[in-house]
């Protein structure tokens, strides 16, 4: 460990041996630089005596003198309290007024990293009000004592939307500064990409049938999907054993004719709380297939449908 009370010559020897270009400066050496600067030694003399660049010494002194430990704690509290604020908003609307100092966005950005915080993209989650949260809690509490064999009797179903990506590779691209106007460096997108709606079902016994169509679906069409795909999957997977059918609370699912059809067929339906896709295991299947679509990148609707069916069939059966 580097000692604190080393002489300036010892620090010089240490910097000549270990301080290469791009190497991190030890905390003890940083404090030594600040101490020398507070004693009146110029930044140029400090850099020359320690064999460091003038910019490195300047950055260390600037970071130490602009925000101290108390200021960093205040900055961390503000960032945690207002998590959705941008660095520009934090700098212009709060930091300069609170610290009574003129600071740049880069300075605040470095200070945020020094507080062990980092800017991330927010995860997208469905909004739940207090009533919906309460219903989700009561549903989980009511099914808390369900055993594994009980959950194996559930036939899970859901529908999801798949889009043709049209070469949309993401918001990041590796290029030089001069390549910004090359077509290969663009993020291409369209306002209304071609898409397909996919309905599928699954259980602990294996994968059920898959139905793909274009456009929306109403109650009459949904009943046709249940007759042509859900009932055969139910017979094949459970082979006459009793099961519980799960579906979400979409309009076509809760319509009176759909409810009447399920009652006529004596199909037991699992009560489902609103806005709770994270409770259904079939959501993991959609995520896997969509990840495969991003890797395979089908260019037409026909290719998209073929890839979806292929990946659905490739899901291993337990």
* Residue 167 reports pLDDT greater than 70: no
Averaged pLDDT for residues 159-188: 72
pLDDT computed for residue 1 by the predictor: 39
Side-chain-facing half-sphere of 87: CA atoms under 13 Å: 15
Q: In the chain, what is the greatest distance between 2 CA atoms, to the nearest angstrom?
A: 92
Q: Six-digit token pair at 107?
A: 């300075």
Local structure of 86: helix, strand or coil = coil
Alpha carbon distances (Å) from 152 to 146, 237, 242, 249 = 10, 11, 11, 22
Average pLDDT, the chain: 84
- 31-35, 62-66, 126-130, 205-209, range with the lowest pLDDT: 62-66
**What digits encode the pLDDT tens for the residues 24-48?**
778 788 888 878 887 888 888 888 8
For residue 75, how many C-alpha atoms fall within 13 Å in the half-sphere facing its CB?
A: 27
DSSP 8-state secondary structure symbol assigned to residue 197: E
Within 13 Å and on the Cβ side, how many CA atoms surround 184?
5
CA distance 164 to 15: 56
Q: Which residues contact 282 (CB under 8 A, 6 or more apart)?
A: 156, 157, 158, 200, 201, 202
Angle between helices 105-114 and 54-66 (to 10 degrees): 80
CB 248 within 8 A of CB 282: no
pTM for the model stands at: 0.64
**pLDDT for 231 beyond 60:** yes
Please report the sign of the dihedral spanned by the C-alpha atoms of residue 117, residue 119, residue 125, residue 130.
Answer: positive
Whether residue 171 has pLDDT greater than 70: no
pLDDT at 6 over 50: no
Gap between the Cα atoms of 251 and 244, Å rounded: 20
Using alpha carbons, list the distances in angstroms from residue 140 to 73, 136, 253, 268, 309. Answer: 39, 6, 21, 19, 33
Q: How many CB atoms are located within 10 Å of the residue 91 CB?
A: 19
Mean pLDDT check: name the lowest of 52-61, 221-230, 253-262. 52-61
CA pair distance 203, 233, nearest whole angstrom: 10
- Give me the mean pLDDT over the 114-125 stretch: 82
- 127-131, 198-202, 279-283: lowest mean pLDDT where? 127-131
For strands 154-163 and 195-203, give the pairing: antiparallel
What per-residue confidence (pLDDT) applies to 189? 66
Predicted confidence band of residue 102 (pLDDT cuts 50, 70, 90): confident
Alpha helix segments (H runs only) across the chain: 8-18, 27-38, 43-49, 54-66, 69-81, 87-90, 96-99, 105-114, 130-142, 148-151, 219-225, 231-238, 251-254, 256-264, 282-296, 301-314
Q: Which of 302, 12, 272, 245 is nearest to 140 (CA)?
A: 272
Q: Which of 32-46, 53-67, 78-92 is predicted with the least confidence, judged by mean pLDDT?
A: 53-67
Burial group, residue 77, by CB count within 10 angstroms (0-12, 13-18, 19+): exposed
Region of 22 (left: φ > 0; alpha: ψ -120 to 50; beta: rest) is: left
Residue 254, pLDDT above cutoff 90: yes
- Token pair 């800017």 is found at 119
Q: How many CB atoms lie within 10 A of CB 159?
A: 21
What's the pLDDT band for 65 if we cut at 50, 70, 90? low
């Amino acid at each position: 460990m580097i000692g604190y009370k080393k002489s300036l010559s010892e620090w010089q020897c240490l910097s000549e041996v270990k301080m290469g270009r791009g190497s991190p400066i030890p905390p003890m050496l940083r404090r030594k630089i600040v101490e020398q600067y507070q004693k009146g030694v110029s930044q140029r003399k400090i850099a020359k005596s320690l064999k460091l660049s003038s910019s490195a010494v300047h950055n260390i002194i600037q970071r130490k003198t602009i925000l101290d430990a108390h200021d960093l704690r205040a900055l961390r509290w503000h960032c945690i309290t207002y998590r959705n604020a941008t660095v520009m908003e934090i700098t212009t609307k709060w930091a300069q007024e609170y610290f009574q100092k003129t600071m740049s966005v880069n300075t605040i950005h470095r200070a945020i990293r020094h507080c062990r915080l980092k800017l991330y993209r927010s995860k997208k989650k469905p909004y739940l009000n207090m009533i919906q949260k309460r219903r989700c809690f009561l549903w989980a509490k009511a099914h808390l004592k369900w055993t594994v064999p009980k959950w194996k009797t559930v036939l899970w179903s859901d529908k999801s939307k798949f889009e043709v990506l049209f070469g949309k590779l993401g918001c990041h691209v590796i290029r030089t500064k001069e390549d910004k106007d090359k077509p290969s460096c663009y993020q291409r997108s369209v306002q209304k990409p071609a898409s397909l709606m996919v309905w599928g079902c699954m259980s602990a016994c294996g994968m059920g049938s898959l139905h793909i169509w274009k456009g929306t679906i109403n109650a009459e069409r949904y009943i046709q999907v249940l007759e042509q795909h859900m009932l055969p999957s139910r017979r094949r997977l459970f082979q006459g054993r009793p099961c519980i059918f799960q579906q979400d609370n979409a309009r076509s699912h809760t319509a009176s004719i759909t409810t009447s059809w399920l009652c006529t067929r004596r199909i037991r339906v699992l009560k489902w709380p609103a806005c709770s896709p994270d409770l259904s295991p079939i959501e993991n299947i959609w995520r896997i297939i969509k990840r495969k679509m991003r890797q395979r990148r089908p260019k037409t609707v026909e290719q998209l449908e073929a890839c979806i069916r292929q990946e659905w069939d490739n899901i291993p059966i337990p």
